[in-house]
Chain A
Amino acid sequence: MDAGLNRCPLQEHFLPRKSSKENLDRFIPNRSAMDFDYAHFALTEGRKGNDQASAVSSPSKEAYRKQLAETMNLNHTRILAFRNKPQAPVELLPSNHSSSLHQQPKSVKPRRYIPQTSERTLDAPDIVDDFYLNLLDWGSANVLAIALGLTVYLWDASTGSTSELVTIDEEKGPVTSINWAPDGRHVAVGLNNSEVQLWDSASNRQLRTLKGGHQSRVGSLAWNNHILTTGGMDGLIINNDVRIRSPIVETYRGHTQEVCGLKWSGSGQQLASGGNDNVVHIWDRSVASSNSTTQWLHRLEEHTSAVKALAWCPFQANLLATGGGGGDRTIKFWNTHTGACLNSVDTGSQVCSLLWSKNERELLSSHGFTQNQLTLWKYPSMVKMAELTGHTSRVLYMAQSPDGCTVASAAGDETLRFWNVFGVPETAKKAAPKTVSEPFSHVNRIR
């Protein structure tokens, strides 16, 4: 149902754009193309009896001439240059300079060009502007899922086509979180009424609903193979095994306020959760559970504001980056093995989301007031490599394409923007194939 939308969602925004490449043409005279005979003739014609040579007289030249005349006691000089110029030297590499005092310390990779504007902008009407929700995810089948109000839309990145997955009943909605399963086919939809729906995007059918776990809205979701971890406004984190009848296998208690950030590590061994209580918890699967509630491995309290931005480092094990909200504005790096804080960087703006690059040692953060920018940092130096602006309200949601090159960002300004910040798709190295046991590959549907 259309629900009276003025615009179709996920349609292309045609924004006036500055040309990405500026044509800096300068006129460089070409001696060999000049007709010197004519020029000489034109210059010398009527020169007979003239004292001044026909040179352009700019103030500096006049002064120069005067000085010259004074010293030489002559007031007529011609300046001549030989016509047939010698061949210009071949372009030298800096290292060939005999008098070069600069040594290139190490071979510097040519800095890649990071486009400062979004490559593409789509309309995202009715997107909920709530810091604690997670309404955007990009699946491994290269399909982007976005929740706009009561409806979940799927945007196929390879074809650019949009389809509607589901529109939730008004009493259940709005949609508060969305997350693709590792197979890129099944998607979990968290709702405001505390339910979680599981959908098959290939057949557009709902497979099951997880109820009774949470008391209030489910704002964060994270998959770990067949386990769907849900984080709720009630502060609970529940591990659901989606294959079995009674799905709840584990409950993590620790947060006292809404769980807005939830991320499993690359190995699937550790779970990082961030809450509105300013606390980050690290949960480890190897820690034995007693009475069906599990003790956390680490409790990290350094942030002074809600922690929604969480990202595990793909190239370094046990490294977690966290970002604090409006009162904190820092990005902190943690060793999740020891629980030590490795680094803290003040970004000056609320950190809404974090993404690590799969190709380079870089970190992308999205921010709110005042710039609403995406900042690309070099790791570990934390030097700012780029700041991408375009959004006109805080960039709450970010997702990365499966090939690791493009980042999609959505904000309360009702736009979904795509940035080629991590490299051009053709030149990106292929990400290592994930060795994930596909739980659903042989199963057509879940009971």
Chain B
Amino acid sequence: MASKTVAAKDIITLHGSAAIVSEFFCYAANSILYNRAVYPEESFVKVKKYGLPMLLIEDESVKSFMSNLTSQISEWLEAGKLQRVVLVIMSKATGEVLERWNFRIETDNEVVDKGVSREKSDKEIMREIQAIMRQVASSVTYLPCLDETCVFDVLAYTDTDVAVPFTWVESDPKLIANPQMVKLHGFDTKIHKVDTLVSYKNDEWDEEE
């Protein structure tokens, strides 16, 4: 008799989950930079990831920034200290915050404390991440045009008792006043749960409600 094969579950360790999340963040940030045209599209190169053509920036300074970021995020994730990661897009000229991409992270503390591992199908995680990536790409349709040159920055919200490496500094949250918020899909590795939210500055056109 034919039986539905249950999707094979993989073991996810804390380390693995942290790697997945930080890698996700790297690709998501690249995707945001590409889609929001923070950097010109010529500076991006296509790679295959999550079953989608993902774009990674070639620029050396951005690449090293990203790699430093991801390694540190990974470290904090393993320590269970990371609460959220925020990618901020600001106007280069005025420094005004135009967009905030908010990746909220919920950590299963039991895993952190006791070192157990969880089970979840790799494929399913991939699919969830894929859905988020697609949503990021399609966000262009409703996000207001970024007409001016922009710069980006990444903020990490951590627990207060975390050891701050000297390469990181305290920052203000760079909030947007009266933002519009759109909640995107999230994904879950069973150890880390990531929610995505984008808040952006109200476009003047939307003033009349």
Binding site for B on A (CB under 8 A): 28-29, 36-37, 39-40, 43-44, 51, 53-56, 60-61, 64, 72, 74, 76-92, 94, 96-102
Asked if residues B157 and A78 are in contact (CB atoms below 8 Å), the reply is: yes
CA of A97 to CA of B40, assembled, Å: 7
A-B contacts, 12 listed (Cβ < 8 Å) = A40-B166, A76-B159, A79-B173, A80-B170, A82-B68, A82-B167, A84-B64, A86-B62, A87-B59, A89-B150, A92-B40, A99-B37
Asked if residues A77 and B159 are in contact (CB atoms below 8 Å), the reply is: yes
Asked if residues A55 and B154 are in contact (CB atoms below 8 Å), the reply is: no
CB neighbours of B39 from chain A (8 A): 89
CB neighbours of A40 from chain B (8 A): 164, 166, 169-170
Chain B residue at smallest Cβ distance from A64: B175
Binding site for A on B (CB under 8 A): 35-41, 43, 59, 61-62, 64-66, 68-69, 72, 83, 92, 95, 140, 145-147, 149-162, 164, 166-173, 175, 177
Given contacts A86-B61, A86-B62, A87-B61, contact A99 B145 (CB under 8 A): yes
Asked if residues B160 and A53 are in contact (CB atoms below 8 Å), the reply is: yes
Given contacts A51-B160, A55-B173, contact A89 B151 (CB under 8 A): yes
CB neighbours of A85 from chain B (8 A): 65, 151, 153
A271 CB, nearest partner CB in chain B, Å: 53
Chain A residue at smallest Cβ distance from B38: A89
- What total count of A-B pairs have CB within 8 Å? 135
A63 CB, nearest partner CB in chain B, Å: 10
A96 CB, nearest partner CB in chain B, Å: 6
Q: Find the residue from A39, A60, A89 having the highest chain B CB count within 10 A.
A: A89
Chain B residue at smallest Cβ distance from A91: B149
Chain B residue at smallest Cβ distance from A83: B167
Chain B residue at smallest Cβ distance from A96: B40
- Please pick, from A64, A72, A77, A88, the residue contacting B160 in the complex, using a CB distance under 8 A: A77
CA of A74 to CA of B62, assembled, Å: 32
CA of A60 to CA of B199, assembled, Å: 15
Asked if residues A94 and B158 are in contact (CB atoms below 8 Å), the reply is: no
